[in-house]
Structures are given as structure tokens and as C-alpha cells.
Amino acid sequence: MSKEPSVRTVSELPRLAARAPDSHKGTFGRVLVLAGSRGMSGAAALTGTAALRGGAGLVRVATAQGVSAAVAGHEPSYLTWPLPEDADGMIGTAALPELLELAQANDVLAVGPGLGQSPAVCQVVRTLIASARKPVVLDADGIFAIRDQLGEIAPPLVLTPHPGEFARLVGATTAAVQADRTAAAVRFARDYRVVLVLKGHHTVVSDGDAVYVNQTGNPGMATGGSGDVLTGVVAALLAQGMRSFDAAVLGVFVHGRAGDLAARELGELSLIASDLLRYLPAAFRSVARP
């Protein structure tokens, strides 16, 4: 495994500070999740619930109107906001005015899971990120939406692609990316001034100056929705004031630890993404400050 000579290798986990007794929900940040479309309500629900389990004080899930009731029914602890959709059940450009207003009332944006890929979705995502000027965690269809504008987006931005998505971003094959994941992640993060979370076995996190290679997680987590949970967790840590790189490192570790705890009880074969939500509390307790 090779890495850039000047890159600092990180092994120690960042930690959240203990919560003060007089804290309130505003103390721990507000996360706006933009996710979901027809047939993909689960992506929005998983991301929103993971942001809550990650410790965000308030989570609002903005999603396509046709699936908003299903998303709301999944978890009563977050707020939902139905957005105008197009004929295919994806968020349309008519959603932009209220979405931009929503973004200003929140601290962190989690964008992409289950949004779908249409010209309208791409326009919505690009306009939102450019206008909101808030920390953003970008996953899945959110990454697709800004693939040609990466160099124009101001930090802080956390991207969480799987190897196939990352290969498309850099114009390489998945095999080439997997051949030297660490070097590829570091170069990309440095070139585009982002925090890159290259998911997979031994997920790599880099901001171009430092790199962390995760050791938690297992093959049971190779299931639909697992990445949505990670997106929500990282967004929640950002909302609580962590630096982007630190939030990504701790989020990746805890996400993998939740998967390991779930696999220990349930086995890898039957593990599903919603199991991760149930084991996140124990995973966070395992890394809490004494």
C-alpha cells in the first residue's frame, strides 16, 4: 500500500466532548437530509434516523412528496418536509425556493441517498450546495449530481462514494481504484479540497493532508442502505461541531463497529442496514470518553 510522502497517517480516534447538563437540542446541531424518491423512501428514512442516532439535536428530512408519508411513518423523532416532485417521483426544480429556505435554518446538509438521477435533481443539488454554504455530506445520487462541478464547490464537503462511484468520478476502472485505494483517495482529496471517504473493506478517509484506514466492519454490511446510515452519522457529528475529517473518521469507525456488533448477534448473512441503527448506541458507547 503506497501513500503520498507528506501525508500524515492517523490511527487515534477523535472523540466527542461530554454533554453539558444544561444542553438543549440546539446545542447539538440541526441536520437537513435531502433524500428519497419514488421507490426509495427507505434511503431517506435510514439517513434521517442515523443522523438522530449519531447525536444531532434536530433532524429534518426533505423528500419527494409522494414518499413523505412513508418516511414520516418510519421514525417519529425527525421532522419531514414534502417537496414538489416530477412525473417520475423525483424532486423537481419547483422545490428549490423552499429547500433553500430550509437549508438556511439548518447547520449541516446530508444530500443524495435515493434521490434518483435526473437533470432536475442535478440542478437542485448543485444550486443547494452552491447557495447554502453549509457543511455537506454528499452520497450516492448527490455525488452523481455534482460530478462535473467538483472543483467549483467550496469546502467543507465530505464525499462518501463506493469504489464504483469513485472510479466514475476519476475516469478509471474500479479495479484500478481498488489496486491502491489509499493513494487514490489522498490524491483526490488534495486535488479537490474535500474529505473523501472511499468506502469498502478498510474504508479510507483523507483530506489530502492526513489519511485514516478503518479496521471495523464486515462483509455483512455489503447490503443496500448501509451507506445511507453512514451519511447520516457523519452529518450528525459535523452538526455537533466536529471538523470534517474528524467527523468522517469517527463516523466510519462507529458505523463499522455497529456492523460488527450486529454481526456478532445476528450473523453476517442476515444483517440489514436497519440493524446498524439499532447497534449504533452501543457502538458510540464503546468510544465514549470515560
What is the bridge-based pairing of β-strands 8-9 and 210-213?
parallel
The interaxial angle of helices 41-53 and 273-286, nearest 10 deg, is: 10
List, for residues 190-249, the tens digit of each pLDDT value.
999 999 999 999 999 999 999 999 999 999 999 999 999 999 999 999 999 999 999 999
Q: Are 256 and 214 in contact (CB under 8 A)?
A: yes
**Upper half-sphere CA count for residue 32 (Cβ side, 13 Å):** 24
Q: What is the mean pLDDT of each run of 10 residues along the chain (290 residues)?
A: 70 92 95 98 98 98 98 97 96 96 96 97 95 94 93 87 95 94 96 96 97 98 98 98 98 98 97 98 90
pTM of the model: 0.96
